[in-house]
Chain A
Amino acid sequence: MTAMVEEAVRTLSYREAINEALRLEMRRDPTVILMGEDVTGASHSEDESHLDAWGGVLGVTKGLVHEFGRQRVRDTPITESGFVGAGVGAAATGLRPVVELMFIGFMGVCLDQIVNQAAKMRYMFGGKARIPLVIRTMIGAGFRAAAQHSDSIYSTFVHFPGLKVVAPATPADAKGLLMAAIRDDDPVIFCEHKLLYDMKGPVPEGEYVIPLGQAEIKREGSDVTIVAISRMVLHALEAAERLAQQGISAEVVDLRTLSPLDEKTVLDSIRKTGRLVVVDEDNPRCSVATDIATLAATQALEFLNAPVKLVTPPHTPVPFSPTLEDAYIPSPERIVAAARATLG
């Protein structure tokens, strides 16, 4: 973890850390606005007791409307192309919108506004446009929410030039990366894992900005590198703890930002350990995991002592039944087995 002054650190949940980042940025910059479905709730009603009825479907934006009002904390109809596109147009003309796309699987109803408008506008216009837009969206299986509300398909966005993609694993990273994303002048897809919302951890007070594009070594080790994303970082850390008990020293690299990718931190770790396991909750084909394997194959093959191991879900939709869903999500056990396999 980033070194910090002891008295400045207190504990927040991942949900509270995101809420704090939004609050601080909205205080700092009046052009920052928040838009999405029920980000406050009950916008039809003038009854005081209905104000902030939801604060987002899982309560992440709760309370912000009391400080910033319904103009800046703006409920939208369920019209993803409309309000994501409005976010793009607002960003191009002088606001700094944070738009909430409730679940990443909903990208299908608004993908054009993200990939053909937001992502390409600056390039198509020869650099004359700036699109300082953040799209916050939930990822992750394990919520028993079935196939359309449980995807982790961030690699889709990594695929597109013009977008940046962030997926924090800890409360502190969630705050620091969201503050950076809001200040960034390019469109950023900010992926929040819904199973992490209640996870608590130390979060610095006040302004805390983590530059985009920097991975972090969450645990140092010398025998095998485990590269992981979002909640899979926690599974990797658990696996590393079990491996340590077996005398194996695993290094856990949390990518944190998926585009741009911090190739140097990954390659340096591979060169140190000579072994690579990649853990990714996204679909296994054409993914960030396969990108990391490609990176190793093209730029660090001579350092590898064993074939790269990928630990991912199967090439299936996320299932509903708890038994099936638990089997779907990459487990610490599978990560341990993969790491051990690289050691022969």
Chain B
Amino acid sequence: MEISRDKLLWAYERMRLIREFEDRLHTDFAAGKIPGFVHLYAGEEAVAVGLCAHLRDDDFITSTHRGHGHCIAKGVDLREMMAEIYGKATGACKGKGGSMHIADVDKGMLGANGIVGGGPPLACGAGLTAKLKGTDQVTVCFFGDGASNQGTTFEGLNLAGIWKLPVVFVCENNGYAETTSPRYSVSGQDIAARARGFGMPSIAIDGLDFFAVYEAAGEAIARARRGEGPTFIEAQTYRYYGHFEGDSIRYRTREEEEHYRSLDCLHRFRQTTISQGLLTAAELDEIDARARAAIEDAVRFAAESPMPDPAELLTDVYVDYPMAALWPFQEAAVPVHR
């Protein structure tokens, strides 16, 4: 599949931004700077970026608890993302969602999701909107090997199949659902084969190879845009860090980790593009430097941003609801806004 120089540069930059973002969170979490649960996407960059390389701003994605990479690939602002993870007022969700619910509907990013398998029905709904409004918008539904066992995933595949919805289902099989391998949890062992039972094209690809992802994604998204219905992609990938930060990772071997690190998607992208004369080491190095600076800037922005005003506790629950009813049965509980 043809890919322009500009697109290659864009893809490398997005992947590097994700890596830098996640590596920085790994360090800062260990230093006690980050509240709550954080699930990092490092290692899986080629999947989010290979898919989103084919999406427009008005296309939609649904995501998972491991959603930072999807956000960056879809163009969510880095400063707002970092501020959200810090719980700051300037965050993408005003500090109300955090890492696990990070979202930017204006960018078509319909939310990281704390519920494994929460996304497929939502993706069908976004696909239904496009179909009924007669647009050619596409929705990409990211989920993991864990969600491949959830009923909602099967229900979403079935609905998308019978209604020929413009949805691309992307199973990011990163080897582990929390601590457990699909070798234990997936009956039949073949996740991609499951989708064929729903009558849609389905392939398993090397999710560590940007070019393999880019090609499969291009076909699937073009097919959806033409109104020919859903496609399923199982991208076989690997997460470098634990399920969440603080995970002691006592369920896989160092040898396995080193093996996958040797297949690193960014490293392979560099090798391929340089050896084929598509890009130069100098311009890739320059992107690396820019990415480091962008993450440094995002961290500084987040650290310097104010915490939310306590009155924000009661906003954004509804579009319209009586304020007093948000804290019933007690007097003077409602904080005064500034």
Residues of A within 8 A of B (CB): 31, 33, 71-72, 76-77, 79, 81-95, 97, 112-113, 116-117, 120-130, 161-162, 164, 184-186, 213, 259-261, 263, 291, 294-295, 298-299
Closest 7 CB pairs of A and B: A89-B125, A85-B121, A82-B155, A126-B94, A126-B93, A127-B316, A89-B122
CB under 8 Å from chain A, chain B span 144-166: 151-152, 155-156, 158-159, 162
Answer whether residue B128 sits at the interface, using C-beta atoms and an 8 A cutoff. yes
Q: What are 30 residue pairs bridging A and B, where the CB atoms are less than 8 Å apart in the complex?
A: A33-B132, A77-B158, A77-B159, A81-B151, A81-B155, A82-B152, A82-B156, A83-B121, A84-B121, A85-B120, A85-B125, A86-B125, A89-B126, A90-B128, A92-B122, A92-B125, A95-B132, A112-B115, A113-B152, A117-B115, A117-B118, A117-B122, A122-B317, A123-B316, A125-B96, A125-B105, A126-B91, A129-B111, A291-B328, A295-B329
Which of B19-27, B38-46, B319-327 forms contacts with chain A?
B319-327
Answer whether residue B256 sits at the interface, using C-beta atoms and an 8 A cutoff. no
Q: A322 to B283: give the CA distance in the assembly, Å.
A: 80
How would residues 245 to 265 of chain B score, 1 for a CB under 8 Å from any chain A CB and 0 otherwise? 000000000000000000000
Which A residues are in CB contact (< 8 Å) with B320?
184-186
Query: Which residue in B62, B130, B162, B325 is a CB contact (below 8 Å) of A263?
Result: B325
Interface size on B, residues (CB 8 A): 54
Closest chain A CB from B118 CB (angstroms): 6
Q: Which of A88, A89, A113, A122 has the most chain B CB atoms closer than 10 A to its own CB?
A: A89
Closest chain A CB from B143 CB (angstroms): 13
Residues of B within 8 A of A (CB): 60, 62, 91-97, 101, 103-106, 110-111, 113-115, 118, 120-130, 132-133, 151-152, 155-156, 158-159, 162, 315-322, 324-326, 328-330
Which B residues are in CB contact (< 8 Å) with A82?
120-121, 124, 152, 155-156, 158-159
A162 close to B318 (CB less than 8 A): yes
A89 close to B103 (CB less than 8 A): no
Which B residues are in CB contact (< 8 Å) with A164?
318, 321
A33-B132, A81-B121 known; 5 new pairs, CB 8 Å cut-off, are: A89-B129, A93-B60, A113-B121, A125-B97, A128-B93
* B118 and chain A: residue at smallest CB distance: A117
Q: A90 to B106: give the CA distance in the assembly, Å.
A: 15
B111 close to A121 (CB less than 8 A): yes
B330 close to A298 (CB less than 8 A): yes
Which B residues are in CB contact (< 8 Å) with A33?
132
Which A residues are in CB contact (< 8 Å) with B133?
31, 94-95
Closest chain B CB from A35 CB (angstroms): 8
Q: A117 to B103: give the CA distance in the assembly, Å.
A: 13
A260 close to B321 (CB less than 8 A): yes
* A112 and chain B: residue at smallest CB distance: B115
A88 close to B103 (CB less than 8 A): no
Q: A79 to B120: give the CA distance in the assembly, Å.
A: 13
Given known contacts A124-B103, A129-B103, A185-B320, A86 and B96 CB-to-CB distance under 8 angstroms: no
Query: Which residue in B94, B110, B130 is a CB contact (below 8 Å) of A92?
Result: B110
Which B residues are in CB contact (< 8 Å) with A261?
325, 328
Q: A298 to B122: give the CA distance in the assembly, Å.
A: 40
Q: A202 to B171: give the CA distance in the assembly, Å.
A: 54
Q: A121 to B159: give the CA distance in the assembly, Å.
A: 22
Closest chain B CB from A294 CB (angstroms): 6
A186 close to B319 (CB less than 8 A): yes
* B84 and chain A: residue at smallest CB distance: A126
Q: A326 to B121: give the CA distance in the assembly, Å.
A: 39
Query: Which residue in B96, B110, B130, B158 is a CB contact (below 8 Å) of A126?
Result: B96
A126 close to B316 (CB less than 8 A): yes
Which B residues are in CB contact (< 8 Å) with A79?
155, 158-159
B321 close to A186 (CB less than 8 A): yes
Given known contacts A82-B156, A122-B317, A186-B319, A71 and B132 CB-to-CB distance under 8 angstroms: yes
Closest chain A CB from B187 CB (angstroms): 20
Q: A116 to B103: give the CA distance in the assembly, Å.
A: 15
B114 close to A89 (CB less than 8 A): no
Q: Which of B114, B152, B155, B322 has the most chain A CB atoms closer than 10 A to its own CB?
A: B155
Which B residues are in CB contact (< 8 Å) with A116?
114-115, 118
Closest chain B CB from A194 CB (angstroms): 26
Given known contacts A84-B121, A124-B103, A125-B101, A89 and B325 CB-to-CB distance under 8 angstroms: no
Query: Which residue in A86, A126, A185, A294 is a CB contact (below 8 Å) of B128?
Result: A86
B93 close to A85 (CB less than 8 A): no
Q: A110 to B263: give the CA distance in the assembly, Å.
A: 40
Closest chain B CB from A184 CB (angstroms): 7
Given known contacts A122-B317, A125-B97, A89 and B105 CB-to-CB distance under 8 angstroms: no
B125 close to A93 (CB less than 8 A): yes
* A211 and chain B: residue at smallest CB distance: B320
Closest chain A CB from B194 CB (angstroms): 16
Which A residues are in CB contact (< 8 Å) with B152?
81-82, 85, 112-113
Which B residues are in CB contact (< 8 Å) with A86?
121-122, 124-125, 128, 156, 159
Which A residues are in CB contact (< 8 Å) with B128?
86, 89-90, 95
Query: Which residue in B94, B156, B162, B326 is a CB contact (below 8 Å) of A85?
Result: B156
A294 close to B322 (CB less than 8 A): no
B330 close to A260 (CB less than 8 A): no
